[in-house]
Amino acid sequence: MAGALSLIPAAQAVPRTAAKVGPGVWEQQVNTGVSLHFSFEFDNPKAFAGSIAHRAVGELGLFGVACLRHTVHRRPDDLTRAADASFLLTLQLAGSKQLTQDGRATTLRAGEFALYDSERPLTLDVGDDYRSVNVRFRKAALGAPDAAAFTHLVARKFSADHGIAPVVWSAVLGLGSLAPDGQSAGLLVAGNVLDMTATMLRAHAGIAGPAGGDDRLRRRQAVQAYIDERLADPDLRVDTIAAACFVSVRHLHALFRGSGHTVAGWIRHRRVAACKRDLADPAAHAVPVAAIGARWGFADPSHFGQVFKAAAGLTPAEFRRRALR
């Protein structure tokens, strides 16, 4: 596990040190950072110190914690607070904690991780000199079969050295250093990390076979988001999209199978929709039709007219006249 630990970006994925903080402030920081409601107990509130770093990347919520001894609960009253049903994975980097859920208790030390469920009561007894990295993901992002199977894995201890776990945790830690810009790239990378995480948990749950349709839908939505951000690029092509999304051209086509559009067809569909919006906008009435087409990736006015009429049944000029009557 030493290799994965060395990938932690200082003060990004996980704080290096705990800062002195009041219990009330700590409760607010954690509940905000994790987007869940917890209750806390402190042995020595006046001496408590803790630091938390958090960010959201695509479907994943990431948070790193460094703190001193205390106890964290998800009590029945906490469960009633509105929140998406989620699983959380916690990897121990230093110190220890005991995780108790569903009548099971396990103690995690450096290099070990466990899963817990946001919808069930929970207790975390955190020791001194504690550091962890954690990832939260919605059950809905997994699909019902996996979500049901993974509930049986809570409060069980796993080694981060075995199977694909080192790859998964290295990827999670790497997300902490992802640049804040480039949302579509982050969405794609986070989707890949979630896929790897689900594969790892399936192995622990004894589930064989390929990922389900929910995974394919999520991957396709990530690709569609990438395309939407680049509609204005006239050089947007299937091969460049596949390379940017880290998949083969064949796999990219497979993701769109059954969606009602090919990859190229989706690009045309979204470009025409954007052009319709602009053509129907009274504030853009003086902008030439060809300029609107070029704005959304149609470099050739003749080609733009042909594609638009095939999709809308009208030429761009006719569409504009009707829309602005």
Write out pLDDT tens, residues 62-116.
999 999 999 999 999 999 886 778 999 999 999 999 999 999 999 999 999 999 9
Give the model confidence (pLDDT) of 253-284 as tens digits: 998 988 889 999 999 999 999 999 999 999 99
Cα separation, 9 vs 174, whole angstroms: 8
Phi, psi of 240 (to 5 degrees): -70, -35
Residue from 116, 46, 109 nearest 88 by CA: 116
Same fold, 19-205 and 214-324: no
Q: Give the containing element (helix H, strand E) for 131.
A: strand 130-138
Do the beta carbons of residue 314 and residue 323 sit within 8 Å? no
pTM (2 d.p.): 0.66
Q: What is the pLDDT of residue 21?
A: 94
Percent of the chain with pLDDT over 70: 90
What's the DSSP call for residue 18?
P
Q: Exposure pattern of 227-266 as b/e (b: 16+ CB <10 Å)?
A: beeebeeeebeeeebbebbebeeeebeebbeeeebebeeb
Q: How far apart are CA 314 and CA 178, in angstroms?
A: 44
Inter-axis angle of helices 263-279 and 213-228, nearest 10: 50
CB 134 within 8 A of CB 89: yes
Cβ atoms 252, 242 nearer than 8 A: yes
* Fold assignment, 214-324: Arc Repressor Mutant, subunit A (1.10.10)
φ and ψ at residue 190, rounded to 5 degrees: -65, -35
Gap between the Cα atoms of 11 and 112, Å rounded? 21
Domain ranges of the chain: 19-205, 214-324
Exposure string for 39-62, b = 16+ CB within 10 A, e = fewer: ebebeeeeebebbbbbbebbbbbb
On whether the 19-205 domain is CATH 1.10.600.10, my answer is: no
Q: How confident is the model at residue 51 (pLDDT cuts 50, 70, 90)?
A: very high
